[in-house]
Structures are given as C-alpha cells and as structure tokens.
Structure 1
Amino acid sequence: MYTVDNYNFKGKRVLIRVDFNVPMDKDLNITDDTRIVTAVPTIRKILSEGASVVVMTHLGRPKGKFVESMSVNNILPRLEELFGQKVQFAPDCIGDEAEKFSNEMKPGEILVLENLRFHKEELDGDEEFAGKLSQLGDAYVMNAFGTAHRAHASTSTIAKFFPYDKMFGYLV
C-alpha cells in the first residue's frame, strides 16, 4: 500500500478526507484551529509533489440539510492564511459544478468542497454518493483520524473506487 511519502502525486488531483470540524463562536470565528493546522503537512506534501488537492470535510451535524453556520466556506479565510494562496470553494461536494472545479484545477491549487454532511448519504455510507465523490480525484488520501472509525461514504465506502491509488495521510 502506498503512503504519502512513496506515491507519485505529479499531475494528479488528490481527493483528501480531512477533519476540519472546528469549534466556532456565534460570529463564525474559529476558536480552535488545531484540526486544520495538523492537516497542513499532509496537504503541503501533496502540493509539493506537483498535484492539486480536493479537500473533503464535515463541519458540525447538519443532519443532511444545508445550514449556513455549518458551511465549510466559513473556514476558507483560515485556509488561505495558512497556505498563503487563494483556495477555491465548490458550493456542493458532488454534482456538475464540483466536477467542473475539480477538472479545471492546476497543480498547486486547492479546492474545498462544501460540507459532506449536508447530504444524508454521507452518514449512510452510500455507495452512489461515494462514487460521485470519487469522480473528483485521481487518488484518495484518508487523513481524518477523528472520523476514521465511521463507515461513512467519504471515509470508508470511497476507498473501493481507488483500488490502487489510496493511502493514509500523516494523521492516520
């Protein structure tokens, strides 16, 4: 099995599952960014190898519905600060728009998908949903230690769509 240290990422779109479920105050300011900061080394490693990164995460427990305060868009400013570059945002984690964003990425770019848990299929481990997510990358990296025990679409089911191009990040 590959690791992020022995896989050739050059020219790939790398789908990475992270855990950016960070606490926020009532004004949607991040109060503890530890989960984001600890994922940075894995993402930087992938970017440094000439790949683009498609970030999947959840934020809160929206129960399969859109909740503005749980939009991953709220954490983009912190990501841009940490990486020192513009971070693209797809307003959904699946569908035509997400595919368009992913397909147009250049090496070194970062795309963050909207909250996975806005779709109940994520929590159900739905295979069709996982298949749609898998279309957004050429390789899959599981870097979400805090959710690794869950049989969700983005943490478990998705791996079957990457028989050879899957690996763990530094946090797992």
Structure 2
Amino acid sequence: MTIKSLDTLLDEGVSGRRVLVRADLNVPFVKGSSPAEIADDGRIRAVLPTVVALRDAGAAVIVVSHLGRPKGAPDPAYTLAPVAERFGELLGEPVAFATDTVGESAQGVVAGLQSGQVALLENLRFNAGETSKDEAERGAFADQLAAYADVYVDDAFGAVHRKHASVYDVPARLPHYAGGLVLREVEVLRELTGDSQRPYVVVLGGSKVSDKLAVIEALLPKVDKLLIGGGMCFTFLKAQGHGVGGSLLQEEMVGTCADLLARGGDKIVLPVDVVAADKFAADAAVQTVPATEIPDGWLGLDIGPESVQLFAGALADAKTVFWNGPMGVFELAPFAAGTRGVAEAITKVDGLTVVGGGDSAAAVRALGIDESGFGHISTGGGASLEYLEGKALPGITALEK
C-alpha cells in the first residue's frame, strides 16, 4: 500500500486544523553541562521543514517526541525543555512548552494554541503507556494523544521501528501522513535493498558484532565489498587466529565471524593496521601497529592509515555506499583519524551514499565534515539497520494502513 505524504495533506488544506507531529528530538547533551547544553541539534533541524510547512499553511502544530529512556515517569534528566528553547531559536519564534504530555499543562497549551503556532509537549516516555507492551494501556495513552488533533504526521524515522503508542497506535485513530523526512528515508532504503547500482560497498563499524550480525547476514549476498572497522573488527581478527591484545572482543561471536569470513570470501575487508593505546583515554600512549600484531594489554581504538587507504581504495569506484558505525573512538582526538578518513573517502564517491544515522551521523558533524558531501544522512540508525535486515517497521506499517 502507499503512504500518504505531507504534500498531499498540504494540498488538502490544514488551515485552522490541529496537527499532531511525531518528531524524533532525542538529541545528545554535553556531558555534565549545567544548564543542559545540546551537543548536536541535527535531529531538531531535520524536522524543521515539516513543522515550518504546516505552520506556514495555517495549522496549529503540536509536536511530540521522546528523549532518552526514562522509566515511564517524569525525570528531570530527560526533560525536553532545553529542546523547546532550541526549537524556538531555529523557528525564529517561541515554541509553547507543556510540562507534561496529557496532563493539565498539555491540555492548557493545546487549548490555547492558535493557527500558525507551534507547541512541544513534554517527553512521551514520562508516560508508561507510550512504551507499554499491554495493548490496552498503550491504546488508552494513544486515545489521549489523538484527542488533541485532527490529523497525524509522522516525521520521526528514528522511532518507526518501535511499536509505541505515538508511533503505531495514534495513526490508527487519526487521518495519517508521512513527513518528508520519513518518506525520504524509506525511498533511500528501498534503493539500498532493491536493484542497487554496482559496485555496492557497505562500511560497518561500532563496537559489537552482535549488534550488526543481522544486517551483515542480510547484506552479504547483495554487496560487492563489506568493510569492517570499529571495535567489532577485533572479533573478526580473532576469528582469523590473530591476537587482539586488550581490544574489545566478543568471544562468543568468534565462531560466527569465522563462518561469515568463510562465506564472504574476499567480500569482507578487515583493517591491516590499527591505532593502539595503553589505556582508554585521550592522553594514552599511542602506537600504530599491524592489525595482526597488537601488543598484549594494548587496546585497538581506531583503524590505522594503511587501513584508511585500503578502505578508500575499495570505495573509489563504488556507485552505492551505506555506512553505519565509526571506525574508532572518534570522540577522542588520537582515535578520530580513521573515521574522518573513511568519511572523506565516502564523500568522493560518485553515486548514492547513505550515512546510516546514529554515531555515524554524529561523527560527521563532530568532525566538521561537510554534510553536503553525502547523498543522505539518516536520522535513525536502529531503524535503518532493521529495515536493511528485512524487518517490518511498525511505524511504517501504521502509515500504510
């Protein structure tokens, strides 16, 4: 079935109507900052086009989102208040903020909202009904949210893999549409899982093989090269019989990695050198060593320069690239060069290049890499991976109904 778009809704007209927008404003904060300081406002910026289009068309826009993983009750550590302030700055006008989601504050804010105005309600996950596995409890919360609006728009791709009230149940209660962000994400991911232009190269990083196993299994038959960096590469190196020092290792996944290497043949490309450190710290002693000769007790925390060249060579003639996961601990300066080098190589690819959200997208911004060099930067790492694994995404399923 097809999904109705925001453009369709705008053509139908929204002036004087209340529109509930499910956004993904789950932004990171600078650790220890007081007052809370947003470290990366990329997700707020991503939903702005949808909110601005609805506002300018005369809708009263009610934005809802989650932030972090509170335990189904209010928690000051996860308030969306700083997000509302930044949202207002980016919109160029104040955003009305409700200090709850379905309580007196939210009801008052929604009741007072005029056409062309925007409100943000407090963290959805302060309510147990949002994430409940009990359909009745989840449905009761969805009823309360749906009562605020005439129309529902989902532009929170980062949450569409969750069967939560605001993602799955609310669209069953209201006319529903997909925002431009969600539609673009689905369009791009369909290209990656369909008849992709070749050579097709996938770059995977991050810490654990187990987190990426399903996507490796799904993509290995479809790709020409699978480049593996980050902490997960050490389990593959161990599967080849090499020592990995004190590097991150999933011992229980060694056999699985050996099987993948046997099936993958020359498709799977591992680092040939790594940046190793004597401790996990920015001021650690550092040395670049062959990937097969990591000293005992030392930690591999980034791929080395020869590996960057190897990966860049594999990317040079690619026509389709998907990247998910940093090549090292990019947050610490001595271990950022691998991620930077691979990211810059991807920007030079003449074809479809997709950054699979999560830490990869954060690394692009943190390292100051020009975002325009990528074809698409996803806002949903987990959702992207589940789509590529072939899983049905509840939020997309709900929009198709």
TM-score (norm 1): 0.94
Question: What corresponds to 2:56 in structure 1?
Answer: 48
- Asked if 2 retains the 8 angstrom alpha-carbon contact of 1:98 and 1:136, the reply is no
Structure-2 separation of matches of 1:166 and 1:51 = 15
| Residue type of the alignment partner of 2:6 | V
- Asked if 2 retains the 8 angstrom alpha-carbon contact of 1:99 and 1:135, the reply is no
For residues 30-82 of structure 1, the C-alpha deviation after alignment (integer angstroms, 9 at most, x for no partner) is 00111110100011111111111101001110111211121011212211110
How large is the Cα RMSD of the aligned pairs?
1.2
Deviation at 1:166, TM superposition (A): 0.9
Deviation at 1:96, TM superposition (A): 3.5
Deviation at 1:2, TM superposition (A): 3.3
- Asked if 1:102 is matched to 2:110, the reply is yes
Matches within 5 A, 1:28-39: 28-39=36-47
Match of 2:28 among 23, 30, 51: 23
Matches within 5 A, 1:81-100: 81-100=89-108
Matched positions, count: 170
Deviation at 1:103, TM superposition (A): 2.1
- Asked if 2 retains the 8 angstrom alpha-carbon contact of 1:95 and 1:132, the reply is no
- Asked if 2 retains the 8 angstrom alpha-carbon contact of 1:19 and 1:147, the reply is yes
Question: What corresponds to 1:156 in structure 2?
Answer: 168
Question: What corresponds to 1:170 in structure 2?
Answer: 180
Match of 2:15 among 10, 14, 25: 10
Structure-2 separation of matches of 1:100 and 1:2 = 30
Q: Secondary structure at the match of 1:6?
A: helix
Richer in helix (by share): 2
Which structure is richer in relative contact order (CA contacts within 8 A, separation 6 or more)?
1
Matches within 5 A, 1:44-83: 44-83=52-91
Percent identity (aligned): 37
Question: What corresponds to 1:147 in structure 2?
Answer: 159
**If you compute each CA radius of gyration, which structure gives the higher value, 1 or 2?**
2
Q: Secondary structure at the match of 1:106?
A: coil
Structure-1 separation of matches of 2:41 and 2:106 = 25
Structure-2 separation of matches of 1:133 and 1:169 = 18
TM-score (norm 2): 0.41
Question: What corresponds to 2:364 in structure 1?
Answer: none
Q: Secondary structure at the match of 2:21?
A: strand
Deviation at 1:20, TM superposition (A): 0.2
Match of 2:146 among 129, 134, 140: 134
Question: What corresponds to 2:206 in structure 1?
Answer: none
Question: What corresponds to 2:244 in structure 1?
Answer: none
For residues 104-154 of structure 1, the C-alpha deviation after alignment (integer angstroms, 9 at most, x for no partner) is 211111110000001111001600000001111111001100100111000
Deviation at 1:92, TM superposition (A): 0.8
Q: Structure 1: which 5+ runs fail to align?
A: none
| Residue type of the alignment partner of 2:91 | F
Deviation beyond 3 Å, 4+ runs, structure 1: none
| Residue type of the alignment partner of 2:7 | D
Q: Structure 2: which 5+ runs fail to align?
A: 183-401
Structure-2 separation of matches of 1:80 and 1:131 = 28
